[in-house]
């Protein structure tokens, strides 16, 4: 085994490897998409039947206006659903309007790594003049399905599912929550992802979902909203059969958040329904296939934005079959093939035989091909470790300069 006897010289060589590799990688990473096989596997569990059943039950719950038993029963129905999925952290954020007590339901899934950082996934459950299967039974069914599939996963960020009340009477619930909970506590919110009216219109071409970004004042949070909304559009393409169209956010529960400089995005149907706020906002008038596809995209986005993964598929050392390093032994350069993509938050480390780190790189997502350059590295054994949120891979590399 070779031994290194000149640390400074090695460090210079290491620096050269780092720079050449990072430079090449960045060219690739611009083109890289965010596709994640593990997210796709969970999106595949999205259940059309569960969504349909929840829409049907939402319709049966009737017209959910302030002060009605229908609205109160819908709250109980939501609590039962979340409880049946395994949730236990419930908070009723209560306020009064026109003499009625209204309730925002906040269901929290604690983050494993960054519990103080919150992804809020929200939509209102009150309706106006009708059972509101589109506005907003559709968003409610999507949020429930996200919650159902997220529950057994590990989420690095805390996820709050919030079913707002009083939306139809002027964004009352979300305004109350922002003023009385978010602002006083200085809540750290990564993103507010609002889902309102994703039902489309039965019989029409519902193939586009609108991804909503913040274009209103204050403008301090608009760039971040645009970046998240661009990601959301990409995630639509990756995890559903829909097309994404980016438009501006208005008139729903993200507004009080964006007015307080929080970063928002949202889903809204492309085909405007003629049934909003009428007795005909019923199951027969929405497109359940469209709600299903939008929900799949919403699940992919929720997993991606909350950094969630399935702990049961954690792969132990050297169990990843899809990583190749070639050639190995290496004379100057090699290619790391990590196709299919193995997770988010990738860290690559290379250590020499003495255990000294000679290379490290970290990035959010990786492209399938990662070039390694050993031009200035000495002959010998190295250990490469590639770690993501749900995978660990180690492999011995042999660098051989022998002629």
**Interface ranges with Zn ion (CB under 5 A):** 135-136, 196
Nearer CB in complex with Zn ion: 271/365: 271
Q: Answer whether the bond into residue 3 is a cis peptide, omega within 30°.
A: no
Distance in Å, CB of 56 to Zn ion, minimum? 19
Distance CA 236, CA 293 (A): 9
- Give the single-character DSSP code of 339: P
Answer for the pair 398, 330: CB distance below 8 angstroms, yes or no: yes
Nearer CB in complex with Zn ion: 136/306: 136
Nearer CB in complex with Zn ion: 135/287: 135
First to last CA, the chain: 17
Nearer CB in complex with Zn ion: 145/196: 196
Answer for the pair 105, 72: CB distance below 8 angstroms, yes or no: no
- Counting runs of H as helices and runs of E as strands, what totals does the chain give? 10, 17
* Three-class SS state of 356: coil
Nearer CB in complex with Zn ion: 43/255: 255
Tokens of 65: 């206006």
Nearer CB in complex with Zn ion: 128/378: 128
Nearer CB in complex with Zn ion: 132/343: 132
User: Look-up: residue for tokens 């399905």?
Assistant: 145
Distance in Å, CB of 276 to Zn ion, minimum? 8
* Three-class SS state of 266: strand
| Helix orientation angle between 288-306 and 139-150, rounded to the nearest 10 degrees | 50
Nearer CB in complex with Zn ion: 266/343: 266
Nearer CB in complex with Zn ion: 111/166: 166
Distance in Å, CB of 272 to Zn ion, minimum? 12
Best CA proximity match to 167, nearest among 257, 251, 284: 251
Nearer CB in complex with Zn ion: 262/268: 268
* Three-class SS state of 278: coil
Distance in Å, CB of 178 to Zn ion, minimum? 17
Distance in Å, CB of 132 to Zn ion, minimum? 8
Any idea how long the chain is? 403
Answer for the pair 192, 254: CB distance below 8 angstroms, yes or no: yes
**Residue 325, C-beta contacts closer than 8 angstroms, at least 6 positions apart:** 334, 335, 336, 337, 372, 384, 395, 397
Distance CA 74, CA 78 (A): 6
- Give the single-character DSSP code of 330: B
Distance in Å, CB of 72 to Zn ion, minimum? 19
Distance in Å, CB of 135 to Zn ion, minimum? 4
Distance in Å, CB of 253 to Zn ion, minimum? 8
Distance in Å, CB of 33 to Zn ion, minimum? 31
Answer for the pair 287, 231: CB distance below 8 angstroms, yes or no: no
Distance in Å, CB of 125 to Zn ion, minimum? 10
Q: Answer whether the bond into residue 327 is a cis peptide, omega within 30°.
A: yes
Answer for the pair 226, 262: CB distance below 8 angstroms, yes or no: no
Distance CA 25, CA 367 (A): 8
């Amino acid at each position: 085994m070779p031994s290194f006897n000149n640390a400074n010289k090695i460090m210079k060589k290491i620096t050269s490897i780092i720079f050449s590799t990072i430079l090449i990688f960045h060219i690739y990473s611009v083109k890289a998409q965010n596709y994640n096989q593990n997210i796709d596997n969970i999106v595949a569990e999205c259940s059309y039947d569960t969504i349909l059943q929840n829409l049907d039950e939402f319709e049966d719950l009737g017209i959910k206006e302030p002060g009605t038993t229908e609205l109160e029963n819908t709250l109980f129905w939501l609590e039962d659903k979340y409880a049946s999925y395994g949730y236990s952290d419930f908070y009723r954020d209560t306020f009064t309007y026109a003499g009625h007590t209204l309730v925002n339901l906040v269901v929290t899934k604690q983050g494993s790594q960054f519990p103080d950082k919150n992804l809020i996934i929200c939509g209102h459950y009150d309706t106006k003049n009708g059972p509101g299967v589109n506005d907003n039974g559709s968003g409610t069914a999507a949020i429930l399905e996200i919650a159902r599939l997220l529950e057994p996963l590990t989420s690095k960020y805390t996820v709050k599912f919030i079913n707002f009340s009083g939306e139809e009477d002027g964004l009352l619930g979300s305004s109350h929550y922002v003023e009385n909970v978010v602002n006083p506590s200085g809540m750290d919110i990564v993103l507010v992802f609002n889902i309102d009216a994703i039902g489309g219109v039965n019989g029409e071409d519902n193939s586009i979902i609108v991804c909503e970004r913040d274009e209103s004042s204050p403008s301090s949070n608009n760039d971040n909203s645009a970046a998240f909304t661009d990601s959301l559009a990409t995630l639509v393409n990756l995890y559903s059969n829909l097309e994404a169209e980016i438009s501006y956010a208005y008139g729903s529960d993200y507004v009080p958040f964006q007015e307080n400089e929080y970063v928002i995005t949202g889903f809204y149907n492309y085909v405007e329904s003629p049934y909003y706020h009428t007795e005909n906002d019923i199951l027969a008038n929405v497109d359940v296939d469209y709600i299903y596809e939008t929900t799949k995209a919403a699940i992919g986005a929720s997993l991606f934005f909350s950094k969630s993964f399935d702990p049961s598929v954690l792969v132990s050392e050297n169990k990843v079959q899809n990583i190749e390093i070639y050639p190995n032994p290496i004379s100057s350069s090699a290619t790391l093939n990590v196709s299919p993509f193995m997770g988010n938050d990738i860290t690559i480390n290379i250590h020499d035989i003495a255990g000294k780190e000679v290379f490290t790189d970290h990035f959010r997502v990786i492209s399938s091909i990662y070039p390694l350059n050993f031009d200035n590295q000495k002959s010998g054994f190295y250990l490469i470790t590639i770690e993501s949120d749900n995978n660990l891979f180690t492999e011995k590399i042999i660098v051989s300069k022998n002629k």
